[in-house]
Every structure is written in C-alpha cells, then in structure tokens.
Amino acid sequence: MARDWGLFLHLLGVFVFVGASAAVTALRLLAIGKERPSESALLLRTVRPLVPFVGVGLLLTVGAGVWLAHELRFSYGSGWLLWTYALIAWLVVVGAAAGRLDRRTRELAERLATEDDERSPELDRRLRDPVALFLDASMLAATLAIVALMVWRP
C-alpha cells in the first residue's frame, strides 16, 4: 500500500513539475517573437505564477521518489539515482540564475510597455540572450534526462 502511495505521489509530482516547466519554457520562447514589449511582458508575467508549481512539483517528485526508493529497497548510491540528484541540483542552480535573467527581461519589457510600447535593441538582446537560452535548453535537457533515468533505471 505504501508503494502505491509513493508511486502515485511521485508521478503526480513529475506531472506537475514537467508540465509547469514546459509551460514556463514555452512562454519564455513565445515572448521572443512578439512585436510589442507589452505582449512580451504579458507572457513573461504569466511565468511568475507557474514557478511555485515547478518548485512544489520538484519537491513532491524528490520526496516521494526517496520514499519510493526506500520502499523498493533501491540503493541510494545507485548510479542512476546519483545522476538524478546531480541533475536536480543543476536544475535548482541554473533555474535560479535563469529566473533572475528572466526577471530583468520582464522588468525591462514592462517599463518599455508603459513608456511607448516600442521594441528596443536592449529588449531584443535580452529576449534572445544566448546565455539565457542555453540555460533554458540545459534545464529542458536535464528534465528529459531525469525522466529517462526514472523510466529506464539503468
């Protein structure tokens, strides 16, 4: 019975985490193609209420995953679990850095929206910032790798 609850909570956490993460990434990418700063600002503002879902989903995934690993008597030192922990640490660190970059971009878009709602080279540069895009892509890759590790447990 405990295994069933552990599995249910783990999968619920995964769905919330992956779903919210995918939505955040999609909104961030959609903001790039908008003509007016007000449109980009709206999309970037929409990310903010999703961030707690990413965090709660990740915590539920990890917490229930540890419980499930204990119930199934997996070794916490297994290679696939160590890789998962390393990828989760990457997500937390990179997510914090990417979040700060995105916040600054959103604030600039909001300021431009209240002024003349015209694009600026600075906003275009921030929306297409290769560092921010790399961080987003690396988080997507890490998320997919974690799901693969959970499904196939090498």
Tokens 């878009």 correspond to what residue?
109
Tokens 């790399």 correspond to what residue?
134
**Which pLDDT score is estimated for 112?**
96
Q: Residue 41 to residues 9, 10, 27, 98: CA-CA distances in angstroms?
A: 34, 34, 10, 16
**Which pLDDT score is estimated for 16?**
97
Interval 54-78: pLDDT, tens: 999 999 999 999 999 899 898 888 9
How many structural domains compose the chain?
1
**Range(s) of the domain holding residue 100:** 2-152
Is this structure's pTM higher than 0.85? yes
Rounded Cα distance between 114 and 111, Å, is: 5
Whether 127 and 32 have beta carbons less than 8 Å apart is answered as yes
Interval 23-51: pLDDT, tens: 999 999 999 989 999 999 999 999 999 99
- Above 70 in pLDDT, residue 106? yes
Averaged pLDDT, 88-97? 96
